[in-house]
Structure 1
Amino acid sequence: MDTFIAVIIIFGVLVAVHEWGHLYVAKKAGILCREFAIGFGPKIFSTKRNETVYTVRLLPLGGFVRMAGEDPEEVQIKPGYEVGLVFKDDEKVSKIIVNNKSKHPEAKIVSVERIDLEERLTVEAYTDDKEGLQTFRVDDKCDLIVDEKPEQIAPLNRQFRSKSPLKKALAILAGPFMNFVLAFVVLLLVGIVNGVPQHDNAEFGKFNEDSPAKEAGLEQGDEVNTIAGQSVNDWEEMTAVIQEHPNEEINFEVVRNGERISTSVETYSRYDEFSEQEIGMIGVQTPTDHSFIQAVQYGATQVYEVSMVIFDTLSLILTGEFSLDFVSGPVGIYNYTGEAASIGIFFLIQFAAMISVNLGIVNLLPLPALDGGRLLFIGYEAVRGKPVDPQKEGLIHFFGFALLFLLMLVVTWNDINNFFL
């Protein structure tokens, strides 16, 4: 249960930050954002603030920002259709009742001859007053009421498709960018609070409980010269020598306040899954630095290194060496999250930062339905001088989403098989 809660919180935060990046830049560009959603499927929570409906949906597998003009408008009012008009004090139309007009006695019933809700913002219609064709001005924030559900109209200047390729690209890039920012900030805070590991010197950090090194009289801050007669210069060399001597008594020569001290330590052993053998341990942690500068360097370095590992994995696709064992679906991530949580809160937080980097990079892949695929269409528009037909683009993204969903099912099945093997 704790693992399930951790997964929900981690993915909820990662998706929320990603989608908030899209939302923030899109609104700054003047795009009407109809919905900000965490998850897919049926709504379990909904609230509206300003022009945007904020929802939480049942399936926590992602999220989206629904921008006006990305897809063709669903409601189309054709000539001869009867609608109800509700007016503001300035006599502009504030609501257009598409159906269930009897529930709105305040509405003026008209028969539409021409309607333009994108550029001119007018309704030309006939009324029962026998005054002939009349023109009604429409407020730029007018609501279309369909089945008693209001949806704000989107004038052309508020639509995604009307913006320049640069503004479109920035709105799309903002999501993955925020994942990198989140990872950096999280790792920065971990570095400040938990300290940044220092591997340049062979020096003792904190001791674990029942540490044999502490029992032998060694102290935090001791600088190690030799172990078992072997000279060591940094943390990696020190731990390598210790690991070679499981369940053995080995001699340490350290320097403390300028004085050389020699003592023997009885190591204990732990099974290492990577080397598949027992390794020696003495219960000492890496020394850490809590300075802000070190934390900044740590955050930036970790984001870079994790990114390089992901790029290396993705490059295997080009060489034909790619395997499903290199990726994990929901089941695999659930298991890894449980393992990270069992180690400790700071390790879990670092694991979440790595997933955030992964989410940012994967979303930039040039595949339909992902942000990278949408950027391809924007780039094509910039070169061609006009956008791709929205219906054709929507169809391509739909098939891309279907293929990604199929891939997720295959990966999940592979995770399940690996889990029970």
Structure 2
Amino acid sequence: MKSYLFLLLILAIGFKFYSFSFLITLLVISFLIFFHELGHFLAAKHMKVDVEIFSIGFGKAIFKKTYKNTEYRLSALPLGGYVKLKGQDDLNPGEKNYEPNSYNTLSPLARIYILFAGPFFNFFLAFLLYIAIGFLGVQKLAPIIGSIAPNSAAEKANLQVGDTIMAINGVAIQSFEEISKLVHAKTTILDIKRDGALIKVTLTPQIDEGYNEFYQKVQKPLIGIAPKGEFVTIYHQGFTSLKYAYEESMEASLLIFKGLAKIISGELDAKNMGGIITMVDVTSKAANTSIVVLFLITALISINLGVLNLLPIPALDGGHILFNLYEFIFKKEVPKVCFEYLSYFGMALLLALMVFVTYNDLTRFMSNQ
């Protein structure tokens, strides 16, 4: 009963702030969870491990059906999901079952294969979404100069407002954001389109104060230009869509790892961390924008889930992978007492993290109202 009441409360709040786009958000979150758990499910089936429960959501089951010894559930709280393998119980980590077709009868590498499959499916889903985005086309700022900073490299090289940058050091570009990736503190040759004519301009970017991908002030080589504000739709079709999807997936993954490292080191304020409320807010707004923006946000969330699940926290896939690596290297299981304490510590850490990011979410949400 409590699960149903909580579900009604979630729906009421969601519809109040986001109208029917909230339904799309629930579908997106549920699909991301389904795809993650599908990875674990298929890997477990491949290793002949019995899957007792496959649930989308937590709490009271709204719908359930048993097929080939697996109970499939759609549960009331659409904020998570799980697969329960024979011989594995995360809520009671000290209890292990070694019956036939159980998780614990597998070798450490086979268990790692099952554990890694969930995050891998998150990365794979993002890869597929980026392929779709490439075919649909994504809007980017056109590489047209809108303003030039005084005493900058651009001004000294006589660049002009309205110039279109076609290539940098022979590398063709299509959007303004590609410029910063190709600019270094050395002689640079720009292919410029001006009044229909193509010209070459040579300049040396100057080290000055700019911003990195986390909007931190840093010293970096700059040309000294700003975009005009015009947009261009860029398509990646055929085999180029695979390259685009791979590069975007890698870039997003590395960005998340860098962000986590900066938060841990104290370079970024932990208040920047967001949880389920931020996810719902961003996804619901994206649903009202366009299918491409929705796909972009979904891909980023999927990669985020993949990265976070690989963190070496005992209650997550990454923590269990670490335990199995220990067993593989030292040819013995992690001591039972140590395994239990670390597992409970991981659960407590995750609960504390959830409370913290929810507090951040609520603070941001209330300040924006």
TM-score (norm 1): 0.61
Q: 1:394 to 1:4 in 2, by over 3 A?
A: farther
The aligned counterpart of 2:184 is none
More strand by share: 1
Q: What RMSD, in angstroms, separates the aligned Cα atoms of the two structures?
A: 3.5
Residue 293 of structure 2 aligns with an amino acid whose one-letter code is F
Q: 1:232 to 1:378 in 2, by over 3 A?
A: closer
More helix by share: 2
The aligned counterpart of 2:134 is 191
Higher relative contact order (CA 8 A, sep 6+): 2
1:72 Cα offset (Å): 9.9
The aligned counterpart of 1:181 is 124
Residue 273 (structure 2) pairs with residue 255 (structure 1)? no
Q: 1:155 to 1:162 in 2, by over 3 A?
A: closer
How many residue pairs match? The answer is 290
Whole-Å Cα distance in 2 between the matches of residues 294 and 162 of structure 1?
Answer: 44
Residue 178 of structure 1 aligns with an amino acid whose one-letter code is F
The aligned counterpart of 1:68 is 86
2:109 aligns with one of 162, 166, 171: 166
Q: 1:28 to 1:229 in 2, by over 3 A?
A: closer
Whole-Å Cα distance in 2 between the matches of residues 313 and 56 of structure 1?
Answer: 34
The aligned counterpart of 2:238 is 292
Residue 45 (structure 2) pairs with residue 27 (structure 1)? yes
Percent of aligned pairs sharing the same letter? 31
The aligned counterpart of 1:52 is 70
Gap regions ≥5 residues in structure 2: 1-18, 146-158, 168-173, 180-192, 199-214, 216-225
1:323 Cα offset (Å): 2.4
The aligned counterpart of 2:31 is 13
Residue 135 of structure 2 aligns with an amino acid whose one-letter code is I
The aligned counterpart of 1:246 is none
Whole-Å Cα distance in 1 between the matches of residues 91 and 363 of structure 2?
Answer: 44
The aligned counterpart of 2:365 is 419
Q: Secondary structure at the match of 2:196?
A: strand
The answer on whether the counterparts of 1:306 and 1:357 sit within 8 Å (CA) in structure 2 is yes
Gap regions ≥5 residues in structure 1: 75-117, 119-153, 204-225, 241-251, 259-273
Q: Secondary structure at the match of 2:300?
A: helix
Stretch of structure 1 that moved more, 376-385 or 178-187: 376-385
The aligned counterpart of 1:217 is none
Equivalent residue runs for 1:220-231 within 5 Å = 228=161
Whole-Å Cα distance in 2 between the matches of residues 12 and 344 of structure 1?
Answer: 20
Q: Secondary structure at the match of 2:312?
A: coil
The aligned counterpart of 2:272 is 326
Whole-Å Cα distance in 2 between the matches of residues 12 and 25 of structure 1?
Answer: 20
Whole-Å Cα distance in 1 between the matches of residues 123 and 73 of structure 2?
Answer: 24
The answer on whether the counterparts of 1:42 and 1:58 sit within 8 Å (CA) in structure 2 is yes
The answer on whether the counterparts of 1:157 and 1:163 sit within 8 Å (CA) in structure 2 is no
Q: Secondary structure at the match of 1:158?
A: coil
Residue 285 (structure 2) pairs with residue 302 (structure 1)? no
TM-score (norm 2): 0.69
Q: Secondary structure at the match of 1:61?
A: strand
The aligned counterpart of 2:287 is 341
Q: 1:229 to 1:389 in 2, by over 3 A?
A: closer
The answer on whether the counterparts of 1:196 and 1:294 sit within 8 Å (CA) in structure 2 is no
2:257 aligns with one of 308, 311, 333: 311
Q: 1:59 to 1:73 in 2, by over 3 A?
A: closer
Whole-Å Cα distance in 2 between the matches of residues 24 and 366 of structure 1?
Answer: 23
Q: 1:170 to 1:196 in 2, by over 3 A?
A: farther
The answer on whether the counterparts of 1:366 and 1:373 sit within 8 Å (CA) in structure 2 is yes
Cα displacement string for residues 168-211 of structure 1 (whole angstroms, at most 9, x for unaligned residues):
00000000000000000011012113369697x769xxxxxxxx
Residue 191 of structure 1 aligns with an amino acid whose one-letter code is G
1:45 Cα offset (Å): 1.2
Whole-Å Cα distance in 2 between the matches of residues 327 and 202 of structure 1?
Answer: 34
1:406 aligns with one of 341, 344, 352: 352
1:409 Cα offset (Å): 1.5
The answer on whether the counterparts of 2:140 and 2:176 sit within 8 Å (CA) in structure 1 is no
Equivalent residue runs for 1:92-171 within 5 Å = 156-171=99-114
Whole-Å Cα distance in 2 between the matches of residues 239 and 399 of structure 1?
Answer: 44
Cα displacement string for residues 4-36 of structure 1 (whole angstroms, at most 9, x for unaligned residues):
212211111111011010010111111111011
